[in-house]
Amino acid sequence: MFGKFSRRHFAKLAGLSALGIAAAPADAAAQPASDRPAPASFPKDFVWGTATSAYQIEGAVNEDGRGRSIWDTFSHTLGKIEDGTSGDRANEHYHRYKEDIGLIKGLGARAYRFSIAWPRVFPEGTGKPNPKGLDFYDRLVDELLKNGIEPYGTLYHWDLPQTLEDKVGGWRSSETSKAFGDYAGHVAARLSDRVRSIFTINEAGRFVNFGYGWGIDAPGLKLPDADVNQVRHHVALAHGLAVQAIRAHGRAGTRVGPAENIAACVPAFDTPENVRAAETATRELNSGFLGVILEGKYTDGFLRFAGKNAPKFTADELKIISQPNDFVGLNIYAPQFYIAASDKPPGWSVLPFPASFPHMNSEWLRVGPETIYWAPRLAAKVWNIETIYISENGTSSEDKLRADGQVYDLDRIMYLRNYLRQLQRATSEGVPVRGYFLWSLMDNFEWIYGYEKRFGLYHVDFETQRRTPKLSVAFYRDVVARNAIGV
């Protein structure tokens, strides 16, 4: 369940200390070399940011009227979280937010993507809002703006109010879609005077399949395929209703769009035939969520493949789902499918991953820098998208504090350097990526892995809550400062 696989072990090389050479402090990497090659620049108005989510960092789960979420319940169920922990305390961000905003400012980043906890705003999911529900986010947003950081809000990062799961079956019911629309309108009315960009739903592709299909994430259900497809449809409907509500109740000019972990299709290698095949595969393999949002219909291929398990829907629902978006967020970590052209229907084939394919500290996180070039390029072509944000990208690492108090996350720097060079390649060719949010600002509660997987730029000691910059902080600060990526 937790991805524990055996690996070959390599003999450890002697450290620099064995030679009497002291390691350099983390910030030393920020010093420019006189013979440094010319960097590859991003567009001058490119948005550099970082990202987090409410349940993973806030803690304070029983404070100021917050209700329970499905992740509160799930994380307290024996055997569901690898290290037996929960988000009850997490990073104590609810009380340490000013300190954490200081970390963002220290990066030089000018944008921050955070999520709002639905159970803080509507403890029962619907009905009467909690008077204190948005007070924390008011303070957070004001502090961000005070520090010159633009807030990007996310309405749903998996923390569904438990009452909705209990009363109507959560996302199994369109009642939850309607409740989400009401919640979105309430948040927009309160915050859109300062939060000008709002992501609706984060990673339907993850929480639908993992939570309702495979039982891995909250609420831990293993439903038949027909029910899973219906759940996904209700989530798409919720997105559409939220867009309508934000347009109706938010300030004029408020921008809105989804943030989805696109089924990333990469041509096996760059030939016209493989690229065309990858375009077709991108459309078909994302029809269940991104496709129906951006096209207002499910593809014939999707419906044919689903057969009797296809979702039930009305023409009116499709109109709601396909409300115009101002941008599309793509969460891109790893290649999901390598695609080759085929002379057999449907004209493309998915290639198997060899066992030796490289991956990062997380087994699922295969290293494919070209993914962040191809995924937005193909998405923009297939759906004629004008504005794309990389709403998440990053990696876990071993992230050990060394004797000198430093964290030398060279593997994360390797990963980011290569991915960002491919992203720069995309923007230089006119792919409409307008910004990048690095996941994550700091180590946090990493869902089923608890606190064992660390994705942060800042190391967190979860006993003392001390935040320590990793070497990647200096790397990312340099990228942001130059708006460019070196070699």
Question: How is 324-385 classified by DSSP, letter by letter?
Answer: --S-EEEE--S--EEEEE-SSTTSEEEEPPPTT--B-SSTT-B--TTHHHHHHHHHHHHH--
- Using the Cα atoms of residue 138, residue 144, residue 150 and residue 156 in order, give the sign of their dihedral: negative
Q: How far apart are CA 202 and CA 331, in angstroms?
A: 9
Q: Determine how β-strand 458-461 pairs with β-strand 466-469.
A: antiparallel
Phi, psi of 483 (to 5 degrees): 50, 40
Position 349: which residue type? S
Catalytic, 203? Answer yes
Chain position carrying tokens 């060394």 = 402
Would you list which residues are annotated within the binding site for substrate?
56, 157, 202, 333, 439, 446-447
Alpha-carbon distance of 135 to 315, in angstroms, equals 39
Structure tokens at 483: 């708006």
Which of 150, 203, 284, 370 is catalytic? The answer is: 203
Distance CA 286, CA 338 (A): 15
Alpha carbons within 13 angstroms on the beta-carbon side of residue 254 total: 29
Residues that constitute the known binding site: 56, 157, 202, 333, 439, 446-447
131-139 own/partner pairs: CB under 8 Å, 24+ apart: 131/65, 132/64, 132/65, 133/64, 133/65, 133/66, 134/187, 134/190, 134/191, 135/64, 136/64, 136/94, 136/97, 137/191, 138/190, 138/191, 139/97
Residues classed as catalytic: 203, 392
